[in-house]
Structure formats: structure tokens, C-alpha cells
Homo-oligomer: A and B are copies of this chain.
């Protein structure tokens, strides 16, 4: 199919006027066809208003209908075939195999949410039967379930052109919940967005759903996204990106006449704690695993381990020797965009110039501005505690080894950590037993605790929590991966003494959907 370079606003396309931009192949620096046209204010308003006017009808659809939509989207994405893989590869510099895997994950995720919507138990239905004879006052019949919040604005992520973009986790969760979606494409992969966007729009149409269920807007700066977030029809926001970008959206949303929830995944250094027993048992294996995790995807994962805690009293030579050798030998690789690459190089230069920081290893780097080369830094615990720059995320294939001077300092550093998406323990069971206080502190800092693994690779499942306290995310009460993400876009509603035939199916006395419910306080 031929790209048109215009926004998708329900059944129609945006105008081919106004500001244009195009995608760049980061591997070749070539501009890619076609020119993309930023949505203007009227188009943003049209997309959001269409979503608003569709919201009630879409919210009234059954779980079966939403499941059919989610499966149709997955089918149509798969039918795009090689065109999608080629375009996504060209726009991101990511290898073809990675894009294929990401496509599989994206479609698997859509189908997981479809199964959840079809099953229906996710709405957390509660039924409290009334008692008209209760004294001194009759007890009403009260029934509650989760209902959609309304139209959701979803921002595509730079580093996941499929799984966290047009038809990614937030879109799948919002549609499963019954919320229309207006997506803001990422300026770095607009062609991928248009391809997936046409698939989603076609699925909406093929399922006989109203056009406002889905729109896709292009824009190269912040105007389109900001206009979307402050639009009165938008009731929630999903975002994956930088801390500055996420906080800006949080502040905009909080200042609205009607503030709305923002789910921004922003910044995490994903500390890995290497405890003495583990070091003694398997230093080399840890080095190999850590190298794989730090360099995976040129370090461009939000779960990239950017901090490794290792006691100064421990002999780290085997682990660090192996790790540094692997890191030095890692070929530099194309990063997602020139901007991301420049920010990474600036960060590496900052560490290199920092008198508190020792450079332990670095892969060869050319002057080429679109590639990133692996690097390993080391600092003392004192320096980490006193120098705020060492606690910031450095997005790319680098990590900082911090040598804490004592258990006391280790605990102090744990307490000083900001919120994280993940915290990893490399330890033996004896290590864990000896570090009970450390574990308790770390649990308060993160959404996911890992034992003897590495944080990259986020399983899409029911129990996954890909979230964490600020600034890992804007709202540590939720996850962006796994079926619990549906709760982002819902709110509870209760019905008091409501006629049975007018209740949502989930709440009717006969439980026609056969879902799991809490009936008079008991799971039934």
C-alpha cells in the first residue's frame, strides 16, 4: 500500500497542507518517503470530538464485540506482511528479527486482551444483595463493576514502533475497556504508524463499529500532543518517553479545568544488586547476562540496567574483567534517532569528564552521530549519593558500577533511589536472608522485583507490573504491560436497586456471562 502522509480521523483523512516532516533511516541517514502532514488544531479537535461522541456507544458494546475488534486488528496487522517489517526497520534502525518479534508480541498482546474482554471477569463485578426488612433502615441492593473512563490519548514510543505505539499495550487496554483511542504518532516512525493505523481503522470498520473509536494524528513537535491532552473530550493519557516529556504532559493534564489521569512511563535506571554469595558462585555468568541486558537493543529499553551495586570490599575482578571485555568488544550500533544518539553521547561524555567517575571500558566509537557504543563506568558509593547526575537515566548501552563501602551505605543508597520500573537482586538464598532490610526498602521503590534474572524482557502476562513510583512512571498505581493495564482506563460505577433487565449483563442476578464475582463479600 502507498503511504499518504496524512492523519487518520475516523473514516476520513487529514488535510495534506500545513507543516510537513519526514522520517529518516538512522542506518543510512536517508530521508524516507513520504512527507507527513502535521494535524492542525481543527483536526485535533475533530479527532477528539469524534472519540467523545462515540464514547457512550463504544462503552456499551459487549466484551465479545471488543474481543472481535482486538482480534481483527491483530489479523490486519499480520496481513500487512513484509511491508510493515521493512518500513519499521527502515524508520528505527532496529534489526528485522527484532521487528518481527515485536510484531508477534503486539499481536499476541491484542489477542490476550481479546481473551480477557471476552471472558469478562476482569470488570471486578460486585453484588451486595439488599434486605428490605433490615432495621432501622432497609438495605439497598448495590452492584458495581468497572466501566470505561472515556476517550484515551495514546502517545507512541520511540523505542517500540509496534508494541508501545499505534496498536500497542495502551491502545489494546483502552479498547478492551471500551474507550475510544486517539493516537499521536511518533515523529520518528510515522510510516509504521500509518500502516498500523490503517489496519486499526479497517478493523473498526469491518467490525461495524463507529468511526470515532480510532484516530491517528501526526505531528513533529509538541503542539499536537499538547492540544490533545488539554482537549475536553480526552479523559486519560498513555505515554512512554522521556521524563521531561512525561512531566510536561502530567502538568498540562493536572492544570485542566477537569484534571485527568496521565499514565506516563518515563525514566528508570533499573538497579541490579550483586550480593556476595552470587558473586562467589557465578561471577562470569552474571557478567555475560549483564552484558546481554545492557547492550540489548543498543540499550534502548526502559528496563535497561543502568546501575550495578557491588560492594567495594568484594573482589569484583572476575565479574568486572569479563563484563568489561564483553562490553569493549560490542560493536557500536545504530540508535533509533540522531537525537537519542546525541543525548547518549552527551551522557557518556558527562560521565567521562566527571572526576568522581572512572571509565572501566568502552567499545570503539566512530564519530558517526547515529551510533552508540557500549561503555562501563564506576563510582564510589559516596559519589553516587552526592552527585545527582549519577542517578539520572542514561538511555543507551552504558551502565554505572557503584562500589558501596558498607552495608550501611548500601541501605542509604537504596533509600536514596528514585522510583524504578525494576529492581534486580543477584543473590543466593543466603544473600536474601542476610539482606532482609535491603529487600524491604527496595520493594517500596519499584513495580517489579527480579531474582537472578535481568530486567530487560517484560513478559506479557496477567501478573506483570511494568510500572513503579515516580519518576519511573507518573502513576505507580498501574502497569503498562499485561492484562492489569486495563485498569488504567476504567472507573467503578455502582447501581442501586436498579432493575435487573437494565443492568449490564455482568451484574444481572442470573450472571448470564458466568463471570467471577464478589457476591455479598464472597467470591462466586
Please give the residue numbers on chain A whose beta carbons come within 8 Å of chain B beta carbons, in ascending order. Answer: 55-56, 59-60, 121, 126-128, 137, 139-140, 142-144, 147, 149-150, 250-251, 254-255, 258-259, 261, 419, 429, 432-433, 439-441, 443-444, 446-453, 457, 459, 461-465, 467, 469-471, 474-479, 483-484, 490-499, 501-502, 516, 518, 520-521, 523
Contacts and interface: CB of A to CB of B under 8 A. Distances in A.
B140 A459 contact: yes
Given A126-B462, A128-B461, A451-B495, 10 more contacts: A60-B440, A126-B484, A142-B464, A143-B463, A144-B463, A432-B502, A447-B492, A453-B496, A465-B494, A476-B491
A154 to B, nearest CB: 18
Given A121-B523, A126-B463, A470-B259, A55 B498 contact: no
B492 A467 contact: yes
How many copies of the polypeptide does the oligomer hold? 2
Contact of A491 (B59, B143, B447, B450): B447
B56 A450 contact: no
Given A250-B254, A254-B251, A459-B128, A448 B502 contact: no
A494 B127 contact: no
Given A251-B254, A261-B477, A497 B453 contact: yes
A322 B490 CA distance: 41
Contacts of A494: 447-449, 463-465
Given A470-B259, A492-B479, A495-B449, A444 B254 contact: no
A143 B496 CA distance: 35
A497 to B, nearest CB: 5
A31 to B, nearest CB: 35
Contacts of A478: 491-492
A248 B304 CA distance: 38
Nearest to A59: B444
A258 B315 CA distance: 37
CB-based closest 10 A-B pairs: A254-B254, A126-B463, A465-B494, A144-B463, A128-B461, A142-B463, A450-B496, A516-B523, A128-B463, A476-B491
Contacts of A492: 447, 465, 467, 477-479, 484
A147 B499 CA distance: 37
A165 to B, nearest CB: 22
A128 B477 CA distance: 20
Contacts of A501: 429
B502 A453 contact: no
Nearest to A122: B518
A496 B150 contact: no
A189 to B, nearest CB: 25
